[in-house]
Amino acid sequence: MSAEPSFAALPDRALIAVGGPDWRDFLQNLLTQSVDDLAPGEARFAALLTPQGRLLYDLFVVGRREGAWLDVAAEHRAALIQRLTIYRLRAKVEISPSDLGVAAAWDGEPGSGWVRDPRLPALGWRGYGAQVAGDPAAYEAHRLALGVPGAADWGSETTYPIEANFDLLNGVDFHKGCFVGQETTSRMKRRGQVKNRMLPIAFEGPAPSEGAEVLAGDRRAGEVLSGIEGRAMALLRLDRLEGELTVEGRPVRVERPAWFTAALGQDAA
């Protein structure tokens, strides 16, 4: 007997409908993930980068019979539509907001109509237009427990996708054709020039303030990003994670998720 799933509405996410004869080629040339063979009912995790290779927007591309939905941060939807419209040029592509809500389900099978989260099986499913009750904070706690960074952790134009572990969470296809920001992204991966990664930190009590320094002795080892009681994400220097770490005078410990160590092998140890 399968477990009953947990559900949560995600009011911080919103949808953009993309259609028209050229929609697939249009997205293929822009995004970090391939959509050439995206099937209806399938989702791909991706990002739109700056030409310099920094993260602008994270998104899920969800295949439909007549095009795709882009599942994006609600606060950035209008800006993303504007940017996609600029990129459209003469392509036969239709771009418009959708009123359907976004939801998440995890810890059990939610039934038909839900789409598997492509980042990590344990994250569960995403639903579009599903009417569910549930506290969004419960989903954030679930995500943080798995050590997966989210949109609140990378801001806009400040982080490289590899620093946010997009390469480990099925967010970058290094074998596809060109995409915006590809040169920098591919060079970082190829040369192993990744000095910082997002990882969860654990501690006693409430989350430190966003932007608080993580210290290794008296040396800066990173900064705190989003967090909840007892746990937060942090952008950390990989060469300064040994020994005692503190934030705002409190001891913290770095936790390397199983998916992270499996993907990086000895480099993550």
pTM given for the model: 0.93
**Percentage, residues of the chain above pLDDT 90:** 84
Task: Determine phi and psi for 219, rounding to 5 degrees.
Answer: -105, 140
What pLDDT is stored for residue 2 in this prediction?
Answer: 57
Task: Over range 71-86, report the average pLDDT.
Answer: 96
Long-range contacts, 150-156 (Cβ 8 Å, 24+) = 150/226, 150/233, 151/12, 151/58, 151/73, 152/225, 152/226, 153/198, 153/225, 153/226, 153/233, 153/235, 154/55, 154/58, 154/198, 154/225, 155/55, 156/55, 156/56, 156/57, 156/76
pLDDT in tens, 152-164: 999 878 899 999 9
Mean pLDDT, rounded, for 231-253 = 95
Q: What share of the chain is helix, strand, coil (3-state, %, to 5)?
A: 25, 30, 45
pLDDT given for residue 176 in this prediction: 87
pLDDT of 156: 78
- 183-211 pLDDT tens trace: 999 998 888 778 999 999 999 999 999 99
Phi first, then psi: give them for residue 117, nearest 5 degrees.
-65, 120
Nearest C-alpha neighbor of 219 from the set 237, 203, 199: 237
Q: Considering the chain, what is the average pLDDT of its residues?
A: 93
The per-residue b/e assignment along 18-47, b for 16 or more CB within 10 angstroms, e otherwise, is bbeebbbebbbebbbbbbeebeeebbbbbb
> What are the structural domains, with CATH classification, of the chain?
6-154 (3.30.1360.120), 195-268 (2.40.30.110)
DSSP state of 172: -
Q: What is the pLDDT of residues 24-58, one digit of tens each?
A: 999 999 999 999 999 999 999 999 999 999 999 99
